[in-house]
Amino acid sequence: MKFFFNVGRYFSMLKRVFARPERHKMYIRQLFREIDNLGVNSVGIVIVISVFIGGIMVIQFAYSMSNPLYPSELVGLGTRDTLILEFSSTMLALIMAGKIGSNITSEIGTMRVTEQIDSLEIMGVNSASYLILPKIVAVVFIFPFLFIISVFFGMLGGLLTGPVAGVITVPEYLDGIRYLFYPYYVTFSIIKSLFFGFLVATVPAYFGYYVQGGAFEVGKASTRAVVNTNILILLFDLILTRLLLT
Amino acid sequence: MIEVKNLYKSFDGNEVLKNVSATFENGKTNLIIGRSGSGKTVLLKSILGLFEIDSGEIWYNERNLTQMGEKEVKRMRREIGMVFQGGALFDSISVEGNVRFPLDMFTRMSSKEKKERVEFCLEHVNIEKHAFSLFPSEISGGMQKRVAIARAIALNPKYLFCDEPNSGLDPETATVIDKLIQSLTKEFQMTTIINTHDMNSVIEIGESVLFISKGEKGWEGTKDEILKTDSKKLNDFIFANKLYAQMKGK
DSSP state of A20: P
Q: How close is the nearest chain A Cα to the Cα of B106, in Å?
A: 8
Q: Does the pLDDT at position B176 exceed 90? A: no
Q: Which residues of B196-224 are buried (b: 16+ CB within 10 A; e: fewer)?
A: bbbbbbbbbbbbbbbbbbebbbbbebebe
Query: Whole-angstrom Cα distance, residue A62 to residue A192?
Result: 28
- Please give the span between the terminal C-alpha atoms of chain A, in angstroms, as a whole number: 35
Name the closest residue on chain B to residue A124, using Cα atoms.
Answer: B74
Phi, psi of B16 (to 5 degrees): -100, -35
Q: What is the mean pLDDT of each run of 10 residues along chain A (246 residues)?
A: 91 94 90 92 94 95 85 89 93 94 96 92 91 96 95 95 91 91 93 96 97 92 96 96 88
Cβ neighbours of B76 in A, within 8 Å:
124
**pLDDT confidence bin for B173, thresholds 50/70/90:** confident
Q: Can you give the pLDDT at residue B51?
A: 87
**Degrees to nearest 5, angle at CA B90 with B104 and B165:** 105
**Degrees to nearest 5, angle at CA B81 with B76 and B83:** 145
Q: How close is the nearest chain A Cα to the Cα of B78, in Å?
A: 6
Name the closest residue on chain B to residue A24, using Cα atoms.
Answer: B105
CB contact under 8 A, A121 and B90: no
Q: Which residues pair with B82 in a beta bridge?
A: B161
Question: Is the entire prediction scored with pTM above 0.90?
Answer: no
The dihedral sign for the CA sequence B154, B134, A212, A109:
positive
Domain residues for B97? 92-156
The answer to the question of residue B119 being in a domain is yes
Short-list A105, A141, A49, CA closest to A219: A105
Phi, psi of A187 (to 5 degrees): -60, -45
Q: According to DSSP H, which parts of A73-126 are helical?
A: 73-82, 92-96, 102-113, 116-123
Number of domains in chain B: 1
SS3 A167: coil
Beta strands at B2-11 and B14-24: parallel, antiparallel or unpaired:
antiparallel
Note the ipTM here. Answer: 0.83
**pLDDT confidence bin for B244, thresholds 50/70/90:** low
SS3 B248: helix
- For B113, the enclosing helix (H) or strand (E) is helix B111-124
Query: Whole-angstrom Cα distance, residue B52 to residue B54?
Result: 7
| Residue among A23, A118, A124 whose CB faces B75 most closely | A124
Q: Does the pLDDT at position B145 exceed 80? A: yes
Q: Residues with Cβ < 8 Å from B149, sequence gap 6 or more?
A: B83, B125, B165, B177, B180, B181, B184
**pLDDT confidence bin for B58, thresholds 50/70/90:** very high
Q: Residues with Cβ < 8 Å from B202, sequence gap 6 or more?
A: B31, B33, B196, B209, B223, B226, B238, B244
Short-list A126, A119, A97, CA closest to A207: A97
| A–B interface: beta-carbon pairs under 8 A | 51
| Residue among B48, B80, B105 whose CB faces A22 most closely | B105
Q: Can you give the pLDDT at residue B241?
A: 61
C-alpha dist (Å) from residue A177 to A21, A69, B198: 46, 19, 73
| Strand ranges of the sheet holding B63-64, from the earlier edge strand across to the other edge | B14-24, B2-11, B55-60, B63-64
Q: At what angle do helices A73-82 and A127-165 cross, to 10 degrees?
A: 170
Least confident of B91-100, B111-120, B219-228: B219-228
Q: How close is the nearest chain A Cα to the Cα of B12, in Å?
A: 17
**pLDDT confidence bin for B247, thresholds 50/70/90:** low
**pLDDT confidence bin for B248, thresholds 50/70/90:** low
Q: How close is the nearest chain B Cα to the Cα of A116, in Å?
A: 5
pLDDT in tens, B16-45: 999 999 999 988 899 999 888 889 889 999
Cβ neighbours of B85 in A, within 8 Å:
115
Max mean pLDDT among A80-84, B204-208, B232-236 falls in: A80-84
Cβ neighbours of B89 in A, within 8 Å:
116
- The answer to whether B84 faces chain A, any CB pair under 8 Å, is yes
